[in-house]
Copies of this chain bind each other. A is one copy, B any other.
Amino acid sequence: MEDYRVKPHQKIDLAKDYDPNDYGEWKGKKAKGVARLTELRAELDALQQVLYAEHQHKALVLIQAMDTAGKDGTIRAVFDGVNPQGVHVASFKVPTQIEADHDFLWRVHAQVPAKGELVVFNRSQYEQVLVVRVHNLEPEKEWRKHYQQINDFEKLLTDTGTTILKFFLNIDLDEQKQRLIERIDTPEKQWKFSPGDLPERKLWWQYMEAYQEAISQTSTEYAPWHIVPANHNWYRNLVVAEVIVEALKKLDMHYPQAAEDLDQYKKDLNEEVIEKKGN
């Protein structure tokens, strides 16, 4: 899984070096991969419990991708089975007027995890160097500053106890076409089809260029990007789950010490007299 991690400021070429159909060592082992995901979910559930109990670390999982690449599906597949109370998903849509009136990190900062929390970002601060760049919503000299601003922001978060894991779900142009056609052909999915997806699709290579540079500029030792082969959903889910579980394991978290004198409290409980309510 280490292959998918982008080294700090590594130059990348998405079209050449990252195959969206890649299965790593799992080629022909879909059933095993799916079974492995079930194990990983159980591990993640246990890790989330100790993260919450220990109340020291903070975990932030950030997901970016083109339309139909499976942001929602990944979140569902990886975090289903983890205590719903222990996971908060923050989705960043088109900024509201109030959000747009602030700096772009304002609404993001408001959603970062506190001690003991696991937060998932569905889209993120990176929209400001992706859609904003591709659609010329800011001049280049403005959006170009955001790389450093994002790095500084993520440094603050990691310096103060946050584990940040960033994932780009990598599908290709053909796969997106198939998925859009599938939406059109499947009655229960038709409502998801938005005509606006088609003009966005025509900007595919501009988006890829924006992703490439963003990932290269902001993959750091403390907040690495992972480029996840995402044409096959099961493998995509497996990679994301594996990376998260590995990272959380490394934190070496522990349940807090129990209170002292537990025996005495037990004795008190057994001997207590609480007057029954006299109606």
Contacts and interface: CB of A to CB of B under 8 A. Distances in A.
A26 interface: no
Given A13-B279, A173-B274, A258-B190, A84 B84 contact: yes
A255 B187 CA distance: 10
Number of this chain's copies in the assembly equals 2
A83 B83 contact: no
A75 B82 contact: no
Contact of A193 (B13, B198, B265): B265
Contacts of A177: 269, 272
A203 to B, nearest CB: 9
A256 interface: yes
Contacts of A188: 255
A72 interface: yes
- Interface size class on chain A is 35 or more
A275 B202 CA distance: 9
A253 interface: no
A12 to B, nearest CB: 13
11 contacts: A16-B279, A85-B91, A177-B272, A188-B255, A191-B255, A191-B258, A193-B259, A193-B265, A195-B259, A198-B268, A198-B269
Given A83-B80, A84-B89, A255-B191, A201 B274 contact: yes
A243 interface: no
